[in-house]
Amino acid sequence: MKKGKIIAFCVFFALVFAVIYALDFPSWQKLDLNKIVNANAASILYDKDGNEIGAVAQSKNASFVKTKDIPEHVKNAFIACEDKRFYTHSGVDIKRIIGAVFSNLKAAAYEEGGSTITQQLVKLTHLTQEKKLSRKANEAYLAIQLEKKLSKDEILTAYLNIVYFGAGAYGIENASRVYFGKSVKELSISQAATLAGVIKAPSAYSPKTNPEKAEQRRNYVLSRMLEDGYISEDEMKKAENTKLEIQSQAGEAEFLWFRDLALKEASEKLNMTADEILTGGFKIYTTFDKERQRRVDEIFENESLFPKNASNGTKAESAFIAIDSKTGGILCIVGGREYEVKRGFNRATDAKRQPGSALKPLSVYAAAVDGLGMSPSTIIDDTKRSFDGGYAPKNAGGSYNGLVTMREALSRSLNVASVSLIEFTGIDRTREYIKRFGLPIEESDSGLSLALGSMTKGVTPMDLSEGYAALSNGGIIVDAHAITKIIDRNGKTVYCFTPSNKRVITTESAYILTDMLKTAASDGSARALKDVPCPIAAKTGTVSIDENSNRDAWTAAYTTEISACIWMGFDETTEITHLQSSESGSFAAKLMAEFMKGETGKAFTKPDSIVELLVDKQALYNQKRVWIAPENAPKSLTQTEIFIKGREPGVISPAFQTPKRPSAPEVFEEGEEIILRFTIQDESYEYIAFVESEGKKELIGTVTGMFGEEKEIRAPRKSETAVYTLACRNKIMYEAGVTLVSLESGGVEVEGRKSITGILENLLSGF
């Protein structure tokens, strides 16, 4: 018996200790009436420089109203809906709590809460949204304390002035104006019941975005008001039959796409609902750049920068995002050409589309450069043909170029060359690099068409901007994000962004790919950006339906500071709603160029391990040979190419050298002509024939030909003895304005032909 009492005693104290531990008394907040009197529950956004943007939603501050200015039927609507025994309990409604527990147990789900209006008020002003026993107990304690300090009317008024009603409206006065364009004094019973119903879940019951659900919720509140004797049955029926008409006085806030993005990210990081974030009083520090956002917003208002509407009037859609290349911070964003619904579909972050050629630098070309050490001057094949399985890709415009450099293939976006490249690098290696750049890829994305950006599900503009940011950032991937840190109402930092700083390719590879994409922006498929006032790399991409129409158009571009991506297309592609292939790609590139004209980035930093060399341009493009050119070679005949140190070519181009001395020609007499015959030893030489007679040298002819070809130069025979020679001139250099001539060959002497008078004089001189 004694032993049993000891065990029971121990169990009792263990339970007491567990309860005390769970209640966590040291963390409890104390009642501070100033937080209620001067409450501001709106969560505020700050830009990248720490300047306040405004509330996450539209209105930062509630417009406070006095008790006497709130009609009785408005107060009654909230009491009937939220706290039936408000005027009789002492802050906590025990009967309601018990009823809620049984209701939830019966439903096997959390369907009904037991918080009073007083408890909700102290939660909004003193506590976080954390679902813990200690927080709930602290809430009840504060509610009881508050009931001793303020009257019921003061508590109800404070609550109505603070609670969030959705659509950016904090407080009953703001809500009245946002939804109905009038002051709280003028609200009808139907409108009062609507607002009372909204606060349970502002997103779900907003009369702006969900009018049907808002009406159902309103009718529920009206039934509660009838049940509690606040309205008559006639008043209820009249209110139920009243159509909800929204007429807002509140102006739309700026930067709504970014606000929605920040709210979504905050909800994910803190594991809270959007409404909990909106009313939580958080300070949310973001990566937002107000100047860039205003610039892109202005550009998106310019109708001339977009394709024409479809024949049925449907607008071509578009999305844009720009992020900080070093940090991944989202600087500005546009989720569509019109902002229609709060926290609606954002095409910049949510729309997965086929990337087309915009994927090439992050897939097959990254695999070639980083995985296999290939350089911009590596030769690949752009000959029209069928690959394994009968796959026969086509180049845009139907032209094919045979052997081309990798720089030319990427900058001009040659499709067949890219498929040749993936055939060489291997599909598995290409898939690996797509994953490295953080892009989503399916198991089914395993064909040769992956080289052209053909994917099962596709990517978002944010995905591509992250990938290209890694090239700008020297090969280190960034995580696109809108929030740097969040501080709660008590000054505690509850979230802080931590970058991954993961290297995906080498610094050298990032620079090589960037250098090729600079060519694309200056002379290639993205040349619409050639006049941007700072160094820029870019790539376009289109996804075709047939020869005359496209499904998607992309342009990704980056400087040393930012990485941006734009998509254009129709949400649903049909025979009517599609892009014209003749113009779709240019619109995306032109819009990107308009945005980038406001940028001032520096030159991309060349790693010490990268060397720049002059190469023979004609040898590169005509003979497909990578030969080094001397520094004094004419600029028109060379181009600068980059190589990783230790992998540069070692052959000096013969095209810029003084020709070798030719052999003496064979010389024949044929009537009154002399024939010089010789064999072409170098097709880059121009053969020059000279004759010297009586101390005077003359040029008698020039000729060029193919290697091994026999040539001849004819000239009138001299009357005096003459010496005939050959020299070789560097044809390419001569055409560029530089004369390089070999030593003359050995001379061939031919006796002159005497006149008849001369012959007679010689004969007579013997007599």
Catalytic residues: 82, 357
Q: In what order do the strands lie in the sheet with 52-55?
A: 52-55, 44-46, 283-286, 483-487, 493-496
The closest alpha carbon to 564, from 331, 338, 353, belongs to 331
Q: Can you tell me the distance from the alpha carbon of 264 to that of 258, in angstroms, rounded to the nearest whole number?
A: 10
How many C-beta atoms surround the C-beta of residue 554 within 10 A? 30
125, 159 in Cβ contact below 8 A? no
Residue 631 one-letter amino acid: E
Phi, psi of 696 (to 5 degrees): -120, 130
Q: Angle CA(700)–CA(706)–CA(712) in degrees, nearest 5?
A: 30
The closest alpha carbon to 701, from 727, 740, 720, belongs to 727
272, 283 in Cβ contact below 8 A? no
Q: Can you tell me the distance from the alpha carbon of 461 to that of 556, in angstroms, rounded to the nearest whole number?
A: 9
Residue 706 one-letter amino acid: M
What is the CA 671 to chain-centroid distance, rounded?
A: 79
Furthest CA-CA distance within the chain: 173
The helix (H) or strand (E) run that includes residue 506 is: none
What is the CA 375 to chain-centroid distance, rounded?
A: 26
How many C-beta atoms surround the C-beta of residue 219 within 10 A? 17
502, 463 in Cβ contact below 8 A? no
Q: Can you tell me the distance from the alpha carbon of 496 to that of 489, in angstroms, rounded to the nearest whole number?
A: 16
> Which is it for strands 483-487 and 493-496: parallel, antiparallel or unpaired?
antiparallel
Residue with structure tokens 């055409």? 735
The helix (H) or strand (E) run that includes residue 415 is: helix 415-425
Q: In what order do the strands lie in the sheet with 666-670?
A: 666-670, 673-679, 710-716
